[in-house]
Amino acid sequence: MGCWILNEKLSVLLLVSIFTCNLISLCLFLYVQSTLAWARASATCLNFNCMLILLPVCRNLISFLRGASIYCGGALRRQLDKNITFHKMVAYGIALNATIHIVAHSINIERYHSSQSKEAGELRNKLSGLGKSPNESYLNPIRTYETNTTGQVLTTIAGITGVVITVALILIMTSSTELIRRSCYEVFWYTHHLFVVFFTGLIVHGMGQLVRGQTPQSLLLHNVTYCKDHYWEWENTTQCPLPEFSGNKPVAWKWVLSPMVLYICERIVRFWRFQQEVLITKVVTHSSGVLEIHMKKHGFKMGAGQYIFLQCPSVSQLEWHPFTLTSAPEEDYFSVHIRLVGDWTAALFKAFGAEEKALKELWMLPRLAVDGPYGSATTDIFHYRVSVCIAAGIGVTPFASILKSIWYKCCNPNTVLALQKVYFYWICRDPSAFEWFADLLFHLEAKMSEKWKNDFLSYHIFLTGWNESQATHIALHCDDKMDVITGLRQKTCYGRPNWDNEFKKLAENHPSIGVFFCGPKALSKILQKTCNSYSSVDPRGVQFHYNKESF
């Protein structure tokens, strides 16, 4: 537990801060024990969370903060890498406070309705009756006991926008579940953009002024202690004139204005990038169902391990998908490797003719738009003396860029690397997936040998899936100097790695290690738990700093 807090102290601090702000907002109103107080308190918390919800999805803002925090240590940058997790956490806060707000106001409406009955008590009946005569303002929005409360509320601005906000929020939340995101990504993507409707409704909602209170000027004319017990004298005494009421002024726009301006600027930048021309210079199809695309774009400057968002207008006019760059900054192009999975990638493969025997000519290829590049967790690999890179399947792509950049830096005698040792682990199910990546490792292996840096890179490739004929072939060539699968000197391991053994060896040899992972969530949880268990509570002891690639 102590190691977990040590590694996640900033995450814990951020969580506590958000929770405290919500709690303070609730307490500002809850000194009054009523459902009206609960409605107003939850509304304040709702506004606070709506102020935060857009900030984590402002990619350029996150990228700027990441660059600005380069001298503040890796812990702060790791929090920026969790921007989507933070976005989800705030969304849960919005859903919770919206539920409290709806329930509280549902009870309030019934109380407004019952206040019109004779059984409500003389004071409540008197207050509810105000507004029926000329020059009187009303407090109770339900004007008569015979009023259909549901119909009355749904004809108000607050009621209509409340329904719109609620429906939009339900659709956004339900379509964001992992099941829908994986099986019907387009449904998630389109439905998520109902946030425009949600924020519009949120701003207009308060303009309905359904909740009303006594005006400040009217309060100055009243001796509250006396008047509340002498309500029958309101019309006949100067000490207790008829009270005047008005609705509370809308405040939601004050909370969300700045984030909305930032997000609009974000979208303008993205649109400008969309308009920029992207030149496709090379396309390669790999037998493992991977499409490799080389591109050029004016003014494009990348860093090792960064990622971009791709759009193909001929496939979809609105969808953007993230892909890690597999090229190095030292190359005169940038590239991505796209695995065939899902409807969008299938349509892209078809548009590029990747399913046919021969690819289309470059001039016949559909237009691509590029947004980025953006920083990610793997860009911090060069900030550690010892880095452990762990990839699963196509998750190897960010490390392709990193290893290429290392190769180029080793070729340049003037480059001084703070990074002194790299451990690379790749777990893959299909032997054909090694095809495009093995060449990179082969050249890197040769370069390290040439520079007498054989100990700089230690890589371990694990194959978890093979058939009977492949197993026979592997067994026949087990004594060969070169690996039968990859063609590398380092032999491929078969099965899954024992992470306890691997981390134990690392802990024995190095005091501080950066661990970088790109792959499925299940393996990520195992690795994060292992990092925490092998990290010392004492900051002077062995420390594993876990970094997960996320988009």
Give residue-wise pLDDT tens across range 28-51.
555 554 567 777 888 888 998 999
Q: What is the pLDDT of residue 536?
A: 76
401: pLDDT strictly greater than 60? yes
CB 208 within 8 A of CB 164: no
**What one-character-per-residue DSSP string does 192-209 give?**
HTTHHHHHHHHHHHGGG-
Q: In angstroms, rounded to a whole number, what is the distance separating the alpha carbons of residues 373 and 301?
A: 8
Mean pLDDT of 348-362: 78
Helices (H), 176-194: 178-183, 185-192
Please, which residues have CB within 8 angstroms of residue 381's CB and are 6 or more apart in sequence? 304, 305, 387, 389, 402, 419, 422, 514, 516
58: pLDDT strictly greater than 80? yes
276-374 with 377-548: one CATH topology? no
Q: What is the pLDDT of residue 473?
A: 47
Q: What's the pLDDT tens digit per position in 294-342? A: 999 998 888 888 889 999 998 888 788 889 888 888 888 999 988 887 7
CB 340 within 8 A of CB 511: no
CB 309 within 8 A of CB 320: yes
Amino acid letter, residue 58: C
Residue 290 CB: number of other CB atoms within 10 A? Answer: 20
Q: What is the pLDDT of residue 265?
A: 93
Question: Minimal CA–CA distance to 439: which of 398, 481, 396, 487?
Answer: 487
Q: In angstroms, rounded to a whole number, what is the distance separating the alpha carbons of residues 176 and 153?
A: 30
Q: What is the pLDDT of residue 432?
A: 64
Does 3.40.50.1000 match the CATH number of domain 276-374? no
- Better-predicted residue by pLDDT, 219 or 524: 524
Q: Name the helix (H) or strand (E) containing 14.
A: helix 9-27
Q: What is the pLDDT of residue 385?
A: 87
Q: Which residue has the tokens 């070169």?
A: 482
CATH architecture of the domain 377-548 equals: 3-Layer(aba) Sandwich (3.40)
Mean pLDDT of 98-104: 88
Query: Confidence class of residue 10 from pLDDT cuts 50, 70 and 90?
Result: low
145: pLDDT strictly greater than 50? yes
Q: What's the pLDDT tens digit per position in 261-279? A: 999 999 999 999 889 999 9
Angle between helices 185-192 and 343-351 (to 10 degrees): 100
CB 340 within 8 A of CB 289: yes
Q: What's the pLDDT tens digit per position in 432-480? A: 666 667 666 776 667 666 665 667 778 788 877 665 555 554 554 555 5
Q: Give phi and psi for 43, each to the nearest 5.
A: -65, -40
Using the Cα atoms of residue 115, residue 116, residue 121 and residue 122 in order, give the sign of their dihedral.
Answer: positive
Q: What's the pLDDT tens digit per position in 210-261? A: 777 777 777 777 777 777 666 665 665 666 777 778 777 888 889 999 999 9
The predicted model scores a pTM of 0.77
Retrieve residue 499's tokens: 């992470």
Mean pLDDT of 64-78: 66
CB 435 within 8 A of CB 291: no
- Better-predicted residue by pLDDT, 467 or 95: 95
Q: Please, what is the Cα angle at 469 between 465 and 474, to 5 degrees?
A: 75
Report domain extents, the chain: 2-265, 276-374, 377-548
Residue 106 CB: number of other CB atoms within 10 A? Answer: 15
200: pLDDT strictly greater than 90? yes
27: pLDDT strictly greater than 70? no
524: pLDDT strictly greater than 80? yes
